[in-house]
A and B are shown apart, each in its own frame.
Chain A
């Protein structure tokens, strides 16, 4: 008998003990109250429909999702949508014949709702298992997974907290990292703003400093942005920040060392809402031409999208101002004009113009020389406005079909092309012709498809004028029906 099968044998023995009341003696409790409680527990566990968890059930090790992980949801409405959350773990011996189940438990203050124990279709390979469970948008949640044989739970595991909400990849340079003056903490209730550490592949509350690869240790703009998004969207928010201070667009090109981290982070996340690109200062310094910046960003995005297998939008901040280092309106203008051209392409969209944050929004030469605390907050507000617009735009395109499109229906249209689909005549002949003497002329019409008959019902004005010979019949309303 192997170690694990002996362990499995002990599970069933323990369960038998519970059922026969021996558990009381086993635990060594002698008080009447304790005995009564244990009797109640025993009776309850033995009732039909209950599954007993053995006291020494094997601990099921879950490797995914990770604590504090946020999984990108579908949909954009506040507190709406869902995600198919991938579960991975180590397969316990003794569970070969087990049935797998999972449930979602809401934690204190959670949005969304949980789900009771339900069968989990699990793929087992070697010593690991994998499954998908659908979770509604919200959190925090606790995910529990168990294997049982009959009514006996032989292994159980859990991970908490996890959430289903909005996930963003942050890339760029110093203004996107922790090079700003004030360190912020997450203030959203239950700390529902988290950050992914691309080096450790772990998640944690997104208090500054963010887990960026450059090791910067100051403050960022992301905690206040996350707080605002949680309040607006009522789902947890996750940032995966791979920005590195002092990097130009050239250093993000596919053959350079920053690109693989960007790609790998996106792959690890699976899905995310958008890339938040806050970069440009190093290209001003490097005198990158507008054409070159345009081509670089286009290549970076296209290569990453190909690797990810989907095309999240890239929201491009205008981030070219760096007053403690240079004053170069011409160079800044080159990068800004390149961004203006990029956002006309599919896949790019305008982010905030943080170059407008001057004066008190910037730290001086004695500070960290990037955004001041006020500037960080304002940059976060600007990103929030952009993301709110972005999610509204997604909603517009996802759920509405505009048959007769007016410009006021288009929130913004960078990278879009107007395509006109002219209406087609089903026939060249009139569908209602003036065939009767009371129809010398046909005018106003009204049409309706009847739900019951499924016929198109038409009412139309027919005009006969004096030919009618009866004033009441000079102008009448007629009807007709059609199957299609």
Chain B
């Protein structure tokens, strides 16, 4: 078993231009806990086949609220944040 961390251009970290980071915070309070990925074979929208659920905080009505958040993506690695 040999996990390879891809060198992606998504989110630089200090002087590291390429990282394997696929999800960062929104700059407010919170941490991206408990991520869980579901590959939904029955999803009719191909852009939403991969879904990631995770716990985070996000701004709502001028303040930050905690809750379960979801991302989705057609292909596996690069998950997009929902609106």
Contacts and interface: CB of A to CB of B under 8 A. Distances in A.
Interface of A: 426-427, 431-432, 436-438, 443-448, 450-451, 456-464, 468-469, 471-484
A484 B2 CA distance: 7
Contacts of B3: 431-432, 456, 458, 480-482
Nearest to A463: B31
Contacts of B25: 471-476
Interface SS majority for chain B: loop
A461 B32 contact: yes
Given A446-B37, A448-B76, A474 B13 contact: no
Contacts of A432: 3
A47 to B, nearest CB: 48
A144 B34 CA distance: 64
24 contacts: A426-B1, A431-B3, A437-B14, A437-B16, A438-B13, A444-B33, A444-B36, A444-B54, A445-B35, A457-B37, A460-B35, A461-B35, A463-B31, A471-B27, A473-B11, A473-B21, A474-B25, A475-B25, A475-B33, A476-B23, A477-B32, A477-B35, A478-B21, A479-B22
B83 interface: no
Given A438-B21, A461-B31, A473-B25, 5 more contacts: A431-B1, A446-B52, A458-B3, A477-B52, A481-B4
B10 to A, nearest CB: 10
A472 B28 CA distance: 7
With a 10 A CB-CB cut-off, give which of B3, B20, B26 has the most chain A CB atoms: B3
Contacts of B23: 476-477
A443 B2 CA distance: 19
A445 B33 CA distance: 9
Given A436-B19, A446-B36, A474-B31, A482 B24 contact: no
Interface string B44-59: 0000000010100000
B6 interface: yes
B13 A473 contact: yes
B2 A479 contact: no
A477 B21 contact: yes
Contacts of A460: 35
B73 to A, nearest CB: 11
Given A478-B20, A479-B22, A481-B6, A444 B11 contact: no
B17 to A, nearest CB: 13
Residue from the set A459, A475, A484 with the largest chain B CB neighbour count within 10 Å = A459
A459 B19 contact: no
A483 to B, nearest CB: 7
A448 B26 contact: no
Nearest to A468: B13
A433 to B, nearest CB: 9
Nearest to B55: A444
A476 B11 contact: yes
A459 B23 CA distance: 10
Given A471-B27, A474-B25, A479-B22, A448 B37 contact: yes
B47 to A, nearest CB: 16
A459 B37 contact: yes
A457 B76 contact: yes
A459 B1 contact: no
Nearest to B26: A472
Nearest to B28: A471
B37 A480 contact: no
A291 B20 CA distance: 69
A443 B22 contact: no
A391 B14 CA distance: 63
A462 B32 CA distance: 9
Contacts of B5: 436, 478-480
Contact of A482 (B4, B13, B34, B37): B4
Contacts of A473: 11, 13, 21, 24-25
Contacts of A436: 5, 13, 16, 19-20
B19 A438 contact: yes
B9 to A, nearest CB: 13
B1 A427 contact: yes
A472 B21 contact: no
Most B Cβ at <10 Å: residue of A432, A476, A481: A476
Nearest to A480: B3
A446 B3 CA distance: 13
B51 to A, nearest CB: 11
Nearest to A477: B23
A471 B81 CA distance: 18
A460 B37 CA distance: 10
B75 to A, nearest CB: 9
A478 B14 CA distance: 16
Given A479-B6, A480-B5, A481-B6, A450 B76 contact: yes
A481 B3 CA distance: 5
Given A436-B19, A438-B19, A473-B13, A479 B77 contact: yes
